[in-house]
Copies of this chain bind each other. A is one copy, B any other.
Amino acid sequence: MSTIVCPEHPSPVADAEALRKACQGWGTDEKAIISIIGRRNATQRKLIRQAYEDLYQEDLLKRLESELSGDFEKAVYRWILDPEDRDAVLLNVAMKQTPIDYRVIVEISCISSPEELLAIKRAYQIRYKHSLEEDLAQHTTGDIRKACNNFILFSKFLVGLVSIYRYKGEEINAKLANSEADILHKAVAQKAFNHEDVIRIITTRSKAQVLATLNHYKDDHGSSVTKHLRDDPCSEDYLSAVRTAIRCINDHHKYYEKIIRHALNKPGTDEDSLTRVVVTRAEKDLKEIKELYHKRNSVSLDHAVSKDISGDYKAFLLTLLGNEID
């Protein structure tokens, strides 16, 4: 469930005017900005951007970028974008990093529904005039040349994940789950990097089918396959990407809870990860993630966030987390 608190029928024109006022004169009224955009859903924000453009012949996003700064600016920028456009930006930024931030690529491709992923690919093409697949393939092939042969697996795995238009039916084939659990076990046990099948199973099967296979694996071998996909220094990135994908498919709330926990526990805080999870999940399931966080850490996420970060950035994230900030 969503954590943001939105009025039912806010006036986009009144919102645009208030935002204009908050950006004019000496200094910026960050509080006013937060209290508006932190309490509007994606459709409402889109209407505000449109109204702002109509009224002032100016892109609200560009204006806010020039008024704000630091982590606060970044969070506002990501929040205001349409969700599919935001994910396209996150993917582009992640693949351009050195080393590639594969977590973002894995989580967006594995957690989005097939239709959502398709919308993200369309948004990516509109924004970057390339396909997501070609850019990712190019960036990861670059890595292959530099590094050991197992980067071929890494590249193939990531490109496979973003390329697939998965079947979303819930029906599963138990016999197939059984035989593919065996295939996984053989690939993992041999450590022979005959991972073509591992990649095929995780990147192409429906999520329901992957889950059934993972469950069979657990039943047959006493522990999760992620426990066995370890301890090979040469293919650490590839194995880590596979483990991430399995976690995302298996229970993405738990996955996000862990990302937030690590982001907050890191000395100095990993603001990028924190922002990413809060901004991308606020309208979807941040409530469930908050509950898991509380259960796992014996402290509420609101409390942890307000202890760890500060200023307008803190006020904004707390608003997205559903708090009244005044």
Contacts and interface: CB of A to CB of B under 8 A. Distances in A.
Interface of A: 118, 121, 125, 129-134, 137-138, 141, 144, 152, 155-156, 159-160, 163-169, 171, 196-197, 200, 203-206
A118 B119 CA distance: 12
Copies of this polypeptide in the complex:
2
9 contacts: A121-B165, A125-B168, A129-B167, A129-B171, A130-B206, A134-B206, A137-B203, A138-B200, A165-B165
Contacts of A203: 137
Contacts of A121: 165
A164 B131 contact: yes
A196 B141 CA distance: 8
**What is the predominant secondary structure among interface residues of chain A facing chain B?**
helix
Contacts of A133: 163-165, 204
A62 B196 CA distance: 40
B131 A206 contact: yes
Contacts of A118: 118, 165
B167 A131 contact: yes
Nearest to A164: B133
Contacts of A200: 134, 137-138, 141
A196 B144 contact: yes
Contacts of A205: 134
A50 B118 CA distance: 31
A169 B165 CA distance: 21
Contacts of A160: 159, 163
Contacts of A166: 131
Given A118-B165, A129-B169, A163-B165, 10 more contacts: A118-B118, A125-B167, A130-B206, A131-B204, A133-B164, A133-B165, A133-B204, A134-B200, A141-B197, A163-B164
Considering residues A152, A165, A206, which has the most beta carbons from chain B within 10 angstroms of its beta carbon?
Answer: A165
A197 B134 CA distance: 11
Given A133-B164, A164-B163, A125 B204 contact: no
